[in-house]
Amino acid sequence: MNLAYKARRAALAEKVQKLAEMWAEYPECQKILNDWIENMDDAEGSKTAAAALVTDLEGCKAECEGEELELLEAILAEKDCLVKKSFWIIGGDGWAYDIGYGGLDHVLASGEDVNVLVLDTEVYSNTGGQASKSTPIGAVAKFASGGKRIKKKDLGMIAANYGYVYVAQCAMGADKNQLVKAFKEAEAYKGPSLIICYAPCINHGINMTKSQSEEKNAVDCGYWQLYRYNPMLAAEGKNPFTLDSKEPTFENYQSFILGETRYASLKKTQPDVAEELFQKTEESSKARLEGYKKLAGKE
């Protein structure tokens, strides 16, 4: 869809440019055409320029004929392409981290101006609660009934390694302002963007009416971190990585995970195994945070 829309807009830009050249003797009209060309890749700018362009062309239609009229009518016929559209791909962690990762990586590596939103439940939520590559150490899920034994994949940092992908990790219940800022930055970035949002799930065995509080607790104890990686800052000579999480209270980490059935059930059935895995998952979270601190220059 994005590529088709991009091709249509490129063809439309050629028509607008040609009409601008033909209207050299009408500087006011020519300026309106050129304003759209200059702003066609800016969401707000193209909206304003498109409105002015449509009004101008509609007003000039009666005075045009021949090739000018054909061009004018061709532009108006494609006016749905005048305002820059926003493209978002939305999926879960089973798709993004796991079974659909090849496709996701292809999209991000393409450099196209598309945005991806991943709702990270840390499990295959739609197909029965199977473990995914997003499932953390120690969590119980289908195909990991004895607790996941390997650590969670860091999808955000894999994408950030390209250097030209905007990446943010968010949790609405923990910091709504950070979430809004990430969406605005992703939308403004002229390239691929990836936003990963922590999404509590019924498979976690929690009270889903308090999912926002669960997100806040996850960030406060260090289970989930908030950050933004913006390539536009690197282009300005600034550090592109911003760690938005405050220093977590890791002393609450174990009590947090034991508040979820996916962890607590292992504690009941295999306490010795649970103790070992829970320590490993906490250490994994701490190591990930230390890595983020180094990127943010806070080590």
Question: Taking all residues of the chain, what is their mean pLDDT, rounded to a whole number?
Answer: 95
Mean pLDDT for 226-248 is 96
Query: What pLDDT was estimated at residue 299?
Result: 66
Question: Which positions ≥6 away from 153 have C-beta within 8 Å?
Answer: 97, 133, 134
- How many separate helices (H) and strands (E) can be counted in the chain? 13, 6
Round to whole Å and give the CA distance between 257 and 261.
Answer: 8
Query: What pLDDT was estimated at residue 295?
Result: 96
User: What are the pLDDT digits (tens) for 164-181?
Assistant: 999 999 999 999 999 999
Round to whole Å and give the CA distance between 136 and 153.
Answer: 8
Mean pLDDT for 19-46 is 93
Sign of the alpha-carbon dihedral angle for 163, 169, 175, 180: positive
User: What are the pLDDT digits (tens) for 100-143?
Assistant: 999 999 999 999 999 999 999 999 988 888 999 999 999 999 88
Query: What pLDDT was estimated at residue 49?
Result: 96
**Residue of higher predicted confidence among 299 and 221:** 221
Round to whole Å and give the CA distance between 169 and 179.
Answer: 8
Looking at CATH, the fold of the domain delimited by 88-296 is given as Rossmann fold (3.40.50)
Q: In what order do the strands lie in the sheet with 115-120?
A: 88-92, 115-120, 193-198, 166-170, 227-229, 241-243
Round to whole Å and give the CA distance between 141 and 122.
Answer: 10
Mean pLDDT for 194-206 is 95
Sketch the domain layout of the chain as residue ranges.
Answer: 2-81, 88-296
Tokens of 158: 């894999």
Mean pLDDT for 261-277 is 96
Q: What is the pTM of this model?
A: 0.90
Round to whole Å and give the CA distance between 53 and 181.
Answer: 31
User: What are the pLDDT digits (tens) for 35-65?
Assistant: 999 999 988 999 999 999 999 999 988 888 8
